[in-house]
Structure 1
């Protein structure tokens, strides 16, 4: 499957929205997008210590990530210096009766306290906003959930969240950018990368 993509500058992150099902053939658009951005001379995709896919060597200036939830998938890509990485996460909003319990167990204490202070109608959206932001960072880092959600802490400022304290080789938090991905009602998503602010553009596959 060949596909042309918009030009990707070093000041941009591109996020593609795709349909998703349990059919393995659904992965074909991911491969088409990655091939289109990487070009014909890209090496084989390698795997990091914790399984994160990346391009080795000089081709590592292209970072990419994907995520899916029920019928929706996202593919994120960006260019930077060697080793540049991006992470994306999407969650479909559905009832989660144990959201506060999970937050108290896996989030930073201040985050769990903030969620507990919300009205019942706002807890789920707040939980998923934090969850997707944390997962996006952990996917970009490559450690995944096993690294620990509590090691990626955010400060809330109204409806916005800012990196506050990132533990271990994730730090410092100030070196990261985390942005919400604007999608329709019923979906919450975030994209993260280490470095300077960039413009995030969302596309639907195919154009």
Structure 2
């Protein structure tokens, strides 16, 4: 996966294939709310941002209103001053982004909310790597839970992530066959950690950015 910089997402959106997931990275300010994401959705729907109508699913996950015909699905995540937006046809993507910063309570959170296997992995890594590994596990768990539509209310302890320096996989998800799931760490930069998940066959991940971003 490599990141391509684009100023006109409409041209990219026109070529979304059924075997792809498009992931957009963009600068973001909290006060912008949903507007940047509705603008990107509009590119894929051929509509202006104002015409894009959203509603909340049973567990609060935003989705397209039933007035929009088709099988387009999306998810977004933001952290501090950046955001990720994932969009695909025929699957429900889940994406999560975190800015890398000190997490003094990482081990305590893992002991309380993670699976025993995940907590053991985190305890075993050098302290200098612990924040990054914690966030990789966290974003992976969030991405999967967002892809189910349930979010954190489902319970972080009800799924388990297998982590390695070059490996990330879903080991357990209560009530699900993990063989049906795809889970990927997204290559960003040394200051951010992100994961993408969906239930379904493997797909090509197209990483895009609206403009070069400050690291």
TM-score scaled by length of structure 1:
0.88
Deviates more, 1:186-195 or 1:52-61: 52-61
Give the unaligned 5+ runs of structure 1: none
Give the unaligned 5+ runs of structure 2: 1-7
How big is the alpha-carbon RMSD for the aligned residues of Structure 1 and Structure 2? 2.1
For 1:28, the equivalent position in structure 2 comes to 35
Q: Structure 2 matches for 1:14-93, cutoff 5 A?
A: 14-24=22-32, 27-40=34-47, 44-55=53-64, 59=69, 61-80=71-90, 84-93=91-100
Gap change, CA 1:151 and 1:59, over 3 Å in 2: farther
**Conserved in 2, the CA contact under 8 Å of 1:43 and 1:59?**
no
Which residue of 154, 175, 191 corresponds with 2:196? 191
For 2:4, the equivalent position in structure 1 comes to none
Q: Cα deviations across residues 74-126 of structure 1 (Å, max 9, x unaligned)?
A: 1100111xxx3111100000000010111111111111011111111111111
Q: Cα deviations across residues 177-196 of structure 1 (Å, max 9, x unaligned)?
A: 01111111100001111101
How far the C-alpha of 1:55 sits from its partner, in A, is 2.8
Task: Give the SS at the match of 1:4.
Answer: helix
**Conserved in 2, the CA contact under 8 Å of 1:87 and 1:136?**
yes
1:182 aligns with 2:192: no
1:205 aligns with 2:210: yes
Structure of higher RCO (CA pairs closer than 8 Å, 6+ residues apart): 2
In 1, the alpha carbon distance for the partners of 2:61 and 2:70 equals: 13
**Conserved in 2, the CA contact under 8 Å of 1:178 and 1:192?**
yes
1:147 aligns with 2:147: no
| Aligned residue pairs, count | 200
Q: Cα deviations across residues 146-184 of structure 1 (Å, max 9, x unaligned)?
A: 11111121223443111111013xx11111101111111
Task: Give the SS at the match of 2:183.
Answer: strand
